């Protein structure tokens, strides 16, 4: 079956899910009053983190909740209200105060102000929201944030090291492998994961790896070129220095 949304009223991909975009609507409204949407989101995220810090004494950690409700037979209950959840994101532990229904994408974007991860379809169908869970690319929109506990999450913000772009980011820039840029963070994450698994991918390998990443601007040929260049560049040091 080809997709499950009726092929009508698809002009706005977010219109199909009014609930999840509550926060975005709020952001949009404020943005209309002279604050940029991104700036607002970042601000909101920092404020949320601040709240979590201030309330730190009262906020339960995931384990603390289990202790209060009692753990039996390997069973622990959370929610429905907000609980403190510690996620390991881009090499750092961060505690956020979220409801169990929060997706990893929303926890990253709204609660941690890591807005580099994009949400486009919010249904697992475009891979714009790709992040790495223990180096494996997954859709953060279809993953509950609580399911990321105990795993290492890497987002597009975590690729650069010491202020230097990841080679895949640099290659995307060099090859102009983006147009509107909405699919780009997901594309870069997917390609960087591929290189981690297979340092010398063929174009066929790249095509297969990004088979779920949709680019409606049609930048695929440039993405193949960028990935191929990095594949060449990650051959032995000697060739790179030559």
Partner 1 sequence: MNQFVLVDCTTVDGALSQLNDGSVVKAAGVDLLDRMKNGTTTPSRLVNIRNISALRGIHPSPQGVTIGALTTLAEISEHPLLTSQYTILSDACGSAATPHIRNMATLGGNLLQQLQCWYFRSEEYQCLRKGKDLCFAFAGLNQYHAIMDYGTCPSVAPSSSAVALLGLNASVELTSAKRGKRTVAIKDLYVHPDANPTKFNVLEPDELLTAVTIPRPAAGTRSAYQKYGEKQSNDWAIADAGVVLEMDGNVCRKAAIVMGAASPVVRHSPEAEAVLAGKPITEETARAAGKAAMQGGPLQTAMQGAQPLSMNAYKVQLFPVAIYRTILLAAGQMGRDPSAAG
Ligand X SMILES: Cc1cc2nc3c(=O)[nH]c(=O)nc-3n(C[C@H](O)[C@H](O)[C@H](O)COP(=O)(O)OP(=O)(O)OC[C@H]3O[C@@H](n4cnc5c(N)ncnc54)[C@H](O)[C@@H]3O)c2cc1C
Torsion of CA 63, 49, 102, 197, to 10 degrees: -80
Residue with tokens 């975009």: 21
Q: From residue 160 to residue 199, what is the string marking binding to partner 1 with x (rule CB under 8 A)?
A: ------------------------------x---------
Which helix (H) or strand (E) covers residue 89, if one does?
A: strand 83-89
The entry of partner 1, ligand X, ligand FES, none near residue 136 (CB within 5 to 8 angstroms by kind) is: partner 1
Q: Least distance from C-beta 241 to partner 1, angstroms?
A: 33
Supply 133's token pair. Answer: 């869970």
The entry of ligand X, ligand FES, partner 1, none near residue 146 (CB within 5 to 8 angstroms by kind) is: partner 1
The site for ligand X (CB under 6 A) is made up of: 124-125
Instruction: Report the residue number whose CB is nearest to ligand X.
Output: 124
Judge residue 92's burial from the number of C-beta atoms within 10 Å of its C-beta, 0-12 exposed, 13-18 middle, 19 or more buried.
Answer: exposed
Q: Least distance from C-beta 181 to ligand FES, angstroms?
A: 5
Residue with tokens 């949320």: 48
The site for ligand FES (CB under 6 A) is made up of: 119-122, 124-129, 139, 141, 178-184, 215-217, 219
Q: How far is CA 55 from CA 25, 58, 146, 154, in A?
A: 26, 6, 20, 27
Residue with tokens 């890591």: 114
Contacting partner 1 within 56-115 (CB under 8 A): 72-81, 99-101, 103
Interatomic CA distance for residues 73 and 108, integer angstroms: 31
**For ligand FES, which is the closer residue by CB, 115 or 139?**
139
Q: What residue ranges bind partner 1 (CB under 8 A)?
A: 1-7, 16-17, 19-20, 72-81, 99-101, 103, 122-125, 127, 130, 136-139, 142-144, 146-147, 190, 208-209, 211-212, 214
């Amino acid at each position: 079956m080809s997709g499950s949304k009726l092929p009508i009223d698809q002009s706005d991909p977010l219109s199909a899910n009014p609930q999840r975009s509550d926060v975005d609507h709020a952001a949009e409204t404020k943005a209309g009053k002279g604050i940029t949407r991104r700036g607002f989101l970042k601000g909101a995220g920092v404020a949320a983190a601040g709240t979590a810090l201030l309330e730190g004494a009262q906020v339960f950690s995931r384990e603390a909740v289990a202790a209060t409700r009692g753990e039996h037979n390997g069973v622990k209950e959370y929610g429905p209200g907000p609980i403190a959840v510690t996620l390991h994101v881009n090499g750092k532990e961060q505690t956020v105060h979220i409801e169990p229904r929060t997706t990893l994408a929303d926890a990253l974007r709204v609660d941690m102000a890591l807005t580099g991860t994009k949400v486009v379809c919010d249904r697992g169908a475009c891979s714009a929201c790709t992040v790495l869970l223990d180096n494996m690319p997954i859709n953060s929109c279809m993953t509950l944030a609580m399911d990321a506990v105990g795993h290492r999450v890497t987002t597009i913000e975590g690729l650069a090291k010491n202020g230097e772009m990841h080679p895949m980011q640099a290659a995307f820039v060099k090859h102009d492998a983006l147009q509107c840029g909405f699919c780009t963070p997901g594309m870069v994450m997917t390609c960087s994961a591929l290189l981690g698994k297979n340092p010398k991918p063929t174009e066929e390998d790249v095509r297969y790896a990004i088979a779920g990443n949709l680019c409606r601007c049609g930048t695929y040929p440039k993405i193949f070129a960028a990935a191929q260049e990095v594949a060449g560049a990650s051959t032995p040091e000697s060739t790179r220095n030559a």
